[in-house]
Structure 1
Amino acid sequence: MVETPAARLFSLLEVLQARPSATGAELAEALGVTQRTLRRYVQRLVDLGIPVDSERGPYGGYRLRPRFRLPPLMLTADEAVAVTLGLAVGQRLGVGAAVPAAAAALAKLLRVLPDALRERVAALQDSLGVVVPPQRAADVDPSVLADLGAAAGLRRRVRFVHRSAGGSDRQRSVDPYGVVFHAGRWYLVGHDHLRADLRTFRLDRLRDVTTTGERFTPPDDFDPVAHLVRSLAEVPYGWDVEVVLHIDIEAARRLIAPTVGTIEPHPQGALLRVGAESPQSAARHLVMMGVPFTVIHPDEVRQALRDLAAEALKAATATLYPGSTGGGSGESDPHGR
């Protein structure tokens, strides 16, 4: 997309805002123009009432006058489309804390855009489709989400009251390592001083969140997303199931989501460890994967597979109409199929 002179003026203003001072050569390179053209753009900003100070000499340059306040929002056409996409997709995916604010932000964005761009962005919003079905996200106060995210970024300890799944409340002091959105829920990952260990907390179960002045240093190369995925995969279920998938390890990792179970190399393929609510649910999910496998334990899953096979065989040989063969053509079919 070719930038117009107006768009370059906005770009120049952004660069000046981001840098305390910049030389003419640096600004010209950033905008992709000659220094002569740059001087015209600078003069245009001055004519519009924006105080750009210039300093002559080999070490001179341009800077915005200190304490000058820029307009609150300036977006190019591509930036407006990008913001619209982010807000709209967040709504469709059920990012609960952002849904009400996203709708308000989109409305404000449309009000301040130029007419031609407003029509383009509105049309994009109306026609946007997301294949992933919307999820009912747990309600989270956006201010809580912002506070925890800021505390993680600034490495400040937080305190809050956490409500357990059983309904009991307890004060926690946590070093927040990151905030993660997964499957309709927001999670805080960090070091819990009460348990002296890494813990994961659902944000919709937190209240009275405060940031303290205490600082912390997170572990080197810690990945909050990877930790959450492992934590969810290790949630205890009623049944622990071990299965060898007779496919290579990479194919197994593509097939099994990290939140479902753990995958390890095995001499005959890949070893899957997964939790299940019942042997029957484990059997159904294993069959649905569509790959050869061998159950290591428990025996109850083997029995559930035999029962499932018997049901499948019964369905395969059942008929709807007398004289038909397994649902195929038959003269008894009143529709002549």
Structure 2
Amino acid sequence: MADPVTLGTRGSDFARLVNKITEAGLLNRRPVYYAIRMSLVMGAYLGAWALFVWVGASWWQLLVAVLLAVISTQIGFVSHDMGHRQVFRTRRASDMAGVLFGNLGIGLGWGWWNNKHNRHHANPNHEDHDPDVSPSVIVWSQDQLGRTTALARFIARRQAYWFFPLLTLEAWHLHVASVKEVFKPTAKRRGTEGALLAVHFVLYFGLIFTVLPVGMALAFIVVHQALFGIYLGCSFAPNHKGMPILTAEDKLDFLRKQVLTSRNVKGGIFTDVLLGQLNYQIEHHLFPNMPAPNLRKAQPIVRRYCEEIGVSYLETGLIKSYSQALGHLNEVGAPLR
């Protein structure tokens, strides 16, 4: 039976869990796994563009756009792992690979996204400190309703219905934010990141408008970027949306802050591949530098430990996770209706 949780023991809960995970060898690097995964993803990416050139001026290109949206998101997952230094041991190697996969590969600024994502990990679902729950377009808590724009309040009335349509713009938002970041004097690697973003967009638009007539090219871009945004959003939404929103009044230790604001999604190998293994979100937030293939092995250890110390551990199916997230958004907007 676990000891009662007191202010004196809570801080050591995570330390005991770290010992269990370390003894199981789950923080060890997986270089062979990542070498294979990166090769497959980049091979698929280059192959999809070769297919694009081969198909030529045909409306079948819209299916190629769908394929590229899936592969682009998978590249995003690999870039995410690089940001947490799951792939390479050193920061320099992680940054070099990150700007190649992110900026050059899919047109997403490595430095800007990595900084934003690390702030999310430090304070998940905190309405003042987590950039992923800032009230920009979607409003995540009723306390935020009075601190938003008129447009955000208009959307908030029916934001559960707006959520998926808005995701079609998510990729464009990420591209624009990435470009804006390189013009800030405080941005790191401004020259490198800006140059790689420029090369990406020149090659991307140049190839598309060279191979396809204007109308077909525009349709291809819309389908690719819209589905890219939807896939990204649908991969990250189940992790925290609909989970408790923290405020300055909440005083939680590291373990509880990470576990109580995160949700796991079950579903087997297919779900693991579909969601880039981010469906083990609780384990990922507790051990962000743990290689992705080890998260599945860490799950039973973490879940059992949370049961021992009396910490709620939420795991649900993919559809149920969306239902919980949309239900939360609908509840937040209720006062405006």
TM range (shorter): under 0.3
- TM-score under structure 2 normalisation? 0.26
Higher helix share: 2
Greater radius of gyration (CA):
1
The structure with the largest strand share of the pair is 1
The alignment's TM-score, normalised by the length of structure 1, stands at 0.26
